């Protein structure tokens, strides 16, 4: 499968603080990819690197199998459309903004009309074409910014927090656009979100970011602390892990790998905690339980298991998981 991006040994620092540290990352072409993480996890920094609007302090980024040494050439630049979290439209009309993008990309003038029409129709903003950019609502502005980013027909569309500050109507429009653009046009769409469920529902692939590092685990049960001799200390509880990675400060435990029981289990699992059930939530086709064991653990169970366990809020539960279930990063 063609790779849209290949990142190797990427490090980004701001004022001596490492904000992004990605040893290896491949992003396949033609997929919808969600970049998930909390605020400050490094999502925007990574997207700006992928858009080549900022540079890493270290490392190499390849775009469609070509390592980018310094800056993009015209054809490489034309492959990427980027929409910032708070997009900026230049003074003038919506059409002026789209025309400027085409001019800057060196698209011949005779194609401008057709390209603009196509982008406005795709983003359902044709009725806004002559509207002044400073009179648009928040949702309209985001869709127009996306129209401007796709007007030159890039192969990759990067969207930083596209759903933030939007009402339900605009979120639905945007979700439909992203899925349509990715699936029907076979384009690569990479969008960041702090909404794990939305990301998982829409994307073909997920990249989880925690404190500037990618992790294979879903972003549940992520704890911060220090690791020493296979014991990860969160400050509240101690969790057994197999890794001895000295500089690791985060762990994640896949909620599917946690066994929940009403009584303490006699097993070989190194980690066993008791806690109080504080949340029962329906999530797609599973049920998410949150158990306070000093740290809050999320556990996924089936609706049948919930019925069998006959759980109520406040119940005492026992959680058990192997030290191999603990991802250290």
Please tell me whether residue 74 binds other proteins under the rule CB under 8 A.
yes
Of the candidate residues 101, 203, 269, 299, the single one contacting other proteins (CB under 8 A): 101
Using the rule CB under 8 A, give the single segment among 104-112, 120-128, 205-213, 316-324 that binds other proteins. Answer: 104-112
**Mask: binding to other proteins, 39-58, rule CB under 8 A, as x and -?**
---------x--x-xx----
Using the rule CB under 8 A, give the single segment among 102-110, 122-130, 163-171, 249-257 that binds other proteins. Answer: 102-110
Using the rule CB under 8 A, give the single segment among 7-15, 100-108, 184-192, 272-280 that binds other proteins. Answer: 100-108
CB atoms within 10 A of CB 57: 12
Please tell me whether residue 13 binds other proteins under the rule CB under 8 A.
no
Using the rule CB under 8 A, give the single segment among 87-95, 238-246, 277-285, 319-327 that binds other proteins. Answer: 87-95
CB of 181 to other proteins, least distance (A): 18
Please report the DSSP string for 213-241 in residue order: EEESS-SSSEEE-EEETTEEE-SS-EEE-
Please tell me whether residue 100 binds other proteins under the rule CB under 8 A.
yes
Non-local (6+) Cβ contacts of 230 within 8 A are 240, 241, 242, 243, 244, 323
Please tell me whether residue 87 binds other proteins under the rule CB under 8 A.
yes
Are 281 and 306 in contact by the 8 Å Cβ rule? The answer is: no
Of the candidate residues 148, 170, 250, 322, the single one contacting other proteins (CB under 8 A): 148
Please report the DSSP string for 39-95 in residue order: TTSSHHHHHHHHHTSS--SEEEEEETTEE--SS--HHHHTTEEEE-SS--PPSSBHH
Pairing status of strand 80-83 against strand 156-159: parallel
Pairwise CA distance, residues 102 & 119, whole Å: 11
Tell me the three state secondary structure of residue 108.
coil
Please tell me whether residue 138 binds other proteins under the rule CB under 8 A.
no
> Rule CB under 8 A: which residues touch other proteins?
48, 51, 53-54, 74, 77-78, 80, 82, 84, 86-88, 90-91, 100-101, 103-106, 148-149, 152
């Amino acid at each position: 499968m063609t790779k849209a991006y290949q990142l190797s040994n990427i490090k980004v620092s701001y004022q001596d603080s490492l904000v992004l540290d990605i040893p290896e990352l491949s992003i396949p072409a033609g997929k919808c990819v969600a970049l998930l993480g909390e605020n400050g996890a490094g999502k925007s920094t990574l997207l700006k690197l992928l858009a080549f609007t900022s540079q890493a302090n270290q490392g190499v980024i390849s775009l469609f199998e070509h390592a980018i040494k310094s800056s993009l050439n015209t054809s490489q630049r034309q492959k990427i459309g980027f929409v910032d979290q708070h997009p900026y439209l230049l003074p003038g009309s919506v059409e002026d903004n789209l025309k400027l993008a085409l001019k800057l990309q060196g698209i011949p003038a005779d194609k401008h009309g057709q390209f603009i029409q196509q982008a406005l129709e795709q983003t359902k903003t044709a009725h806004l074409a002559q509207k002044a950019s400073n009179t648009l609502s928040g949702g309209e502005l985001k869709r127009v910014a996306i129209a401007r980013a796709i007007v030159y027909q890039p192969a990759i569309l990067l969207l930083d927090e596209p759903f933030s500050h939007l009402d339900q109507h605009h979120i639905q429009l945007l979700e439909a656009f992203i899925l349509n653009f990715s699936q029907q046009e076979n384009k690569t769409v990479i969008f960041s979100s702090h909404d794990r469920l939305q990301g998982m529902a829409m994307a073909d692939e997920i990249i989880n970011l925690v404190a500037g590092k990618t992790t294979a685990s879903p972003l549940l049960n992520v704890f911060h602390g220090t690791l020493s001799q296979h014991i990860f200390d969160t400050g509240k509880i101690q969790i057994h892990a197999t890794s001895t990675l000295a500089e690791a400060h985060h762990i994640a435990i896949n909620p599917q790998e946690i066994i929940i029981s009403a009584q303490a289990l006699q097993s070989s699992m190194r980690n066993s905690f008791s806690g109080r059930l504080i949340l029962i939530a329906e999530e797609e086709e599973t049920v998410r339980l949150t158990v306070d064991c000093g740290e809050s653990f999320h556990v996924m169970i089936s609706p049948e298991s919930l019925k069998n366990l006959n759980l109520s809020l406040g119940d005492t539960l026992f959680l058990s998981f192997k030290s191999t279930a603990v991802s250290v990063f």
